[in-house]
């Protein structure tokens, strides 16, 4: 291969184009990383070809090289050294506007990003790589659903299998595996991913840890009785399903939907989502909560909704305190948790939202 894009460039590119892996096409066994960065003419040509599929301000291309001598950065290129033997399928051959190049696989990119970003950011990257959305700045909500041959880029199981094939001492492997435990597949928008992270991550990482979360999972919803008096059930798919046991040991479920108008493909889909909410509401075993942009964008309003979810699940407030809540130790503990929770919200849902 002549050039291989990696790290943030590969991540941003893959999240904005249809899945580069085609069904029925054997994975590439290419493993020879270029010895040095491409020449200036190649970089200009490649940057022009990729420009429409990279976020604004992404002026330097991340590329892999296999030798220290060939590793040098320029104002247009950021070179990353890769000398290890990687499993088959680590690189995907492709082209854009007639320019041929290789892209690091989603699984390898997840490992690479483990050395570039903080843990919560890496988890967010994992949600995006395993999601059902493709970023598109021209669409309402900034994304579209991957459908047909445009399948999710990868899965949690596929990333884990890739990481476990690498030698145990591989740099950043342990960090990637730690982050992967918190990744949930099938998010349909970056906002859904952010909400799921805030609800489900432990307080140490800035979350509220209200229960086990899953994304867009089918559930059976009670819909009354039919003409013969038999229970009638419907299948529905909440954006986020949270499951927890209350203090009496009973399982409780909360379905959280994010405002359809901002992410779910226009008015027709919006009507369907309203209908879905109305059908889920009567189920006595299931609490349904809808979050709109007004609740998600305002931290105080968002915290109120999170507390509603907590109460519906029968969960105690976190963090658990020993002794007087007014003690100096407990005040510091609560302040630290609240600070981390605000920071996570701000990075995945607020004003300082992470750019994928």
State which residues form the domain around 27. 4-180
Say if 145 falls within a structural domain.
yes
Same domain, 175 and 198: no
Domain end: 180, 198, 220, which one?
180
| Tens of pLDDT, residues 333-355 | 999 999 999 999 999 999 999 99
Distances (CA, A) of 336 to 296, 332, 340: 22, 6, 6
Render 142-201 in DSSP notation, one character per residue. Answer: GEEE--TT---S--HHHHHHHHHHS-TT-TTHHHHHHHHTT--S--SSHHHHHHHHHHHS
| Tens of pLDDT, residues 78-129 | 999 999 889 999 999 999 999 999 999 999 999 999 999 999 999 999 999 9
Q: Is the per-residue pLDDT at 55 higher than 80?
A: yes
What is the total count of domains within the chain? 2
| Tens of pLDDT, residues 180-230 | 999 999 999 999 999 999 999 999 999 999 999 999 998 887 777 888 888
Q: Are 158 and 177 in contact (CB under 8 A)?
A: no
Q: Is the per-residue pLDDT at 244 higher than 60?
A: yes
Q: What is the pLDDT of residue 270?
A: 47
Q: What is the pLDDT of residue 274?
A: 45
> For the chain, what percent of residues have pLDDT higher than 70?
90
Q: Show the CA angle centred on residue 157, arms to residues 152 and 159, nearest 5°.
A: 75
Domain end: 155, 180, 205, which one?
180
Same domain, 157 and 223: no
Same domain, 270 and 332: yes
Q: Is residue 217 packed enough to be buried (19+ CB in 10 Å), middle (13-18) or exposed (0-12)?
A: middle
| 225 DSSP β-pair partners | 231
Output b/e per residue, 116-145; b: 16+ Cβ within 10 A: ebebbbbbbbbbbbbbbbbbeeeeebbbbb
Same domain, 283 and 313: yes
| Tens of pLDDT, residues 25-48 | 666 666 678 899 999 999 999 999
Domain end: 180, 213, 231, which one?
180
Same domain, 101 and 247: no
Say if 354 falls within a structural domain.
no
| Tens of pLDDT, residues 278-288 | 444 545 568 88
Q: What's the maximum distance between 2 C-alpha atoms anywhere in the chain? A: 79
Q: Is the per-residue pLDDT at 268 higher than 60?
A: no
Say if 164 falls within a structural domain.
yes
Same domain, 119 and 208: no
Same domain, 265 and 293: yes
Phi, psi of 244 (to 5 degrees): -150, 165
């Amino acid at each position: 291969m002549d050039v291989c894009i990696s790290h943030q460039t590969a991540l941003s590119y893959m999240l904005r184009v249809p899945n580069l892996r085609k069904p029925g096409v054997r994975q590439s066994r290419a493993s020879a990383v270029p010895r040095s960065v491409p020449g200036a003419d190649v970089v200009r040509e490649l940057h022009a070809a990729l420009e429409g599929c990279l976020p604004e301000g992404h002026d330097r291309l991340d590329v892999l090289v296999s030798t220290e001598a060939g590793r040098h950065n320029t104002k247009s290129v950021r070179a990353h050294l890769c000398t290890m033997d990687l499993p088959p399928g680590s690189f995907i051959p492709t082209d854009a506007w007639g320019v041929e190049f290789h892209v690091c696989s989603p699984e390898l990119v997840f490992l690479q990003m483990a050395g570039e970003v903080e843990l919560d950011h890496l988890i967010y990257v994992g949600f995006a790589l395993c999601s059902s959305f493709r970023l598109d700045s021209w669409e309402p909500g900034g994304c579209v659903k991957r459908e047909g041959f445009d399948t999710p880029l990868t899965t949690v199981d596929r990333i884990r299998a890739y990481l476990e094939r690498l030698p145990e001492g591989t740099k950043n492997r342990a960090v990637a595996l730690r982050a992967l435990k918190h990744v949930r597949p099938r998010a349909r928008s970056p906002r859904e991913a952010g909400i799921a992270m805030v609800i489900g991550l432990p307080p140490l990482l800035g979350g509220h840890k209200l229960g086990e979360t899953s994304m867009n999972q089918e559930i059976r919803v009670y819909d009354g009785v039919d003409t013969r008096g038999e229970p009638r059930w419907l299948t529905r798919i909440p954006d986020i399903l949270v499951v927890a046991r209350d203090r009496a040991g009973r399982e409780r479920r909360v379905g959280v939907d994010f405002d359809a108008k901002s992410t779910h493909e226009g008015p027709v889909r919006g009507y369907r989502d309203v209908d879905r909410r109305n059908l889920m509401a009567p189920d006595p075993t299931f609490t349904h909560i809808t979050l709109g942009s007004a609740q998600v964008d305002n931290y105080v309003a968002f915290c109120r909704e999170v507390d509603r979810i907590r109460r519906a699940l029968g969960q105690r407030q976190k963090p658990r305190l020993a002794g007087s809540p007014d003690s100096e130790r407990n005040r510091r503990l609560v302040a630290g948790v609240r600070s981390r929770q605000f920071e996570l919200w701000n990075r995945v849902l607020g004003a300082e939202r992470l750019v994928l």
